[in-house]
Amino acid sequence: MFNRSVYKSRRDALKKELKSGIALFPGNVDAAFNYPANQYHFRQDSNFSYFFGLDNPGFAGVVDVDNNKDYIFGNDVDMDDIIWMGAQPLVKDLAAQVGVENSFPYNDLADFLKKAITQGRKIHFLPPYRGETVIELSALLDIPNAEVKSHASVDLIKAVVKQREIKDKNEIAEIEKAMFTAYVMHTTAMKMAMPGMVEQDIAGTIEGISLALTGPVSFPVILSVDGQTLHNHSHHNVLEKGRMMVTDAGSETALHYASDITRTVPVGGKFNARQAEIYQIVLDANMNAIKAIKPGVLYRDIHFLAARTIVDGLKAAGLMKGDTEAAVQAGAHTLFLPHGLGHMMGLDVHDMEGLGEDYVGYDETVSRSTEFGTAYLRLAKALKPGFVLTVEPGIYFIPDLIDQFRNEGKFLDFVNYDKLETYKDFGGIRIEDDVLVTPDGCRVLGKPIPKTIEEVEKTMAEPREWIKKENFI
């Protein structure tokens, strides 16, 4: 974990912002996989982790704003636990590691909260996303299960977003560790993308690399030659020449910071002319967007810059026509790019999405569109130094969507549907980088992962390395 002063200053900043009441952060509990004692890998709640750092299941953290006190509620292990898990530090010693002086057994939390409620004090909590947490909050605060989410504190959500969206240098260093692992995962996937391989061979290998170098993958690996399906988690296809493989994958560090990278490569190692043409358009969109990132700019405007680059490119390829600006205004690009340019990234791969995308990616001045495609933007608001976000334009040829738009007579002035028919077997391309907004622009994080056509082809021609950190430094 970080130094205790990091967690203490985060809690102090929260107190300043929240002004009054009690902020309750239930940590996660162990979750059963297929029977109670066989559990999923434990993943701490990101908000608990941000303010209290500890990775133990069954803890809760409390920030008492009114009395300027912090608490950990959790139980010391008993002899049964020691026999199976080995000796563990006492809760009070764990609490001290993150600068918390007050620790009590977990069962004391209910009385602590009851007393505060009787005193008329406000208990702030964040929207829960696990059933166990809903049930626990319901019992602790005497709110029916179905109503727990609606009692989440908007003041606390806004305060947490304000803090977590700005990453400090410790957090950037942690994200760069996750980026390094992503470098190894993606360069390995590139070298394995040869005819005859099954997608699962590669998906399993890169998930293993993540575990070997940092920790679990930061989200289930997306890897497919059917790249037109945005989040494709089925990995049964055999790779064949003439297809491209989309790999969208990242790792999570021991402190739970993520990476999230996408690369698209030609099976066999050489782009054909049609692939290279479309690939270059997506790459141009990715690089134009990155060039435009700086504080004060709306990410929605950068999204539309990427959209214009895509329309210009598709016009040159004969798949679109007409005035670029008018095509984007009309939303014609959404046939090819039906998602937003990117999202915040940090302790969650879609950072803070559990708090509500509208609180994270939008604000009082920028609200969500209701239009197809543009409504899916996860991040639209003005950028600030310290934001870490993804830049992930794509071009997808989704046969069902092409048919639907054509049958509805949509965008006839902007789309060459006859030529598009010949691309229904193409798949899709996405290129995703993770970027830090700096005071005067931005920096692409991590060791550069091959992404130009030349870099990708060169990497694919090189032999694989043994998965040892030293072999990649």
Q: Where are the alpha helices (DSSP H) in 317-378?
A: 324-330, 357-361
49: phi then psi, degrees, rounded to nearest 5: -60, -40
Q: Which of 124, 168, 134, 167 is nearest to 351 (CA)?
A: 167
- Residue with smaller CB distance to Mn ion, 315 or 381: 381
Considering the complex, what minimum distance in angstroms separates the CB of residue 435 from ligand GLY?
Answer: 13
Considering the complex, what minimum distance in angstroms separates the CB of residue 348 from ligand GLY?
Answer: 11
Q: According to CB under 5 A, which one of 315, 390, 415, 434 is a site residue for Mn ion? A: 390
Is 248 a residue that touches ligand GLY (CB under 6 A)?
yes
Cα–Cα distance for residue pair 74/71, rounded to 1 Å? 10
Residue with tokens 């910071």: 257
Cα–Cα distance for residue pair 315/87, rounded to 1 Å? 65
Is 260 a residue that touches Mn ion (CB under 5 A)?
yes
Tell me which stretch binds Mn ion (CB under 5 A): 35-43, 168-176, 379-387, 424-432. 424-432
Is 472 a residue that touches ligand GLY (CB under 6 A)?
no
Considering the complex, what minimum distance in angstroms separates the CB of residue 343 from ligand GLY?
Answer: 6
- Residue with smaller CB distance to ligand GLY, 159 or 289: 289
Q: According to CB under 6 A, which one of 219, 372, 376, 472 is a site residue for ligand GLY? A: 219
Is 165 a residue that touches ligand GLY (CB under 6 A)?
no
Is 392 a residue that touches ligand GLY (CB under 6 A)?
yes
- Residue with smaller CB distance to ligand GLY, 54 or 209: 209
Binders in 340-359 for ligand GLY, by CB under 6 A: 343, 349
Q: Which of 346, 22, 337 is nearest to 156 (CA)?
A: 22
Annotate 97-156 with DSSP letters as a single string: HTT--EEE-TTHHHHHHHHHHHTT--EE-PPP-SHHHHHHHHHHHT--GGGTGGGS-HHH
- Intra-chain end-to-end CA distance of the chain, in Å: 24
Cα–Cα distance for residue pair 398/229, rounded to 1 Å? 7
Total number of residues that touch ligand GLY (CB under 6 A):
7
- Residue with smaller CB distance to ligand GLY, 91 or 307: 307
Is 260 a residue that touches ligand GLY (CB under 6 A)?
yes
Is 248 a residue that touches Mn ion (CB under 5 A)?
yes
Is 376 a residue that touches ligand GLY (CB under 6 A)?
no
Neighbouring CB atoms inside 10 A of 400's CB total: 9
For 281, counting Cβ atoms within 10 Å of its Cβ (0-12 exposed, 13-18 middle, 19+ buried), the class is buried
Cα–Cα distance for residue pair 380/440, rounded to 1 Å? 19
Considering the complex, what minimum distance in angstroms separates the CB of residue 85 from ligand GLY?
Answer: 33
Query: What does the binding site for Mn ion look like in residue numbers (CB under 5 A)?
Result: 248, 260, 390, 432
Query: What does the binding site for ligand GLY look like in residue numbers (CB under 6 A)?
Result: 219, 248, 260, 343, 349, 392, 432
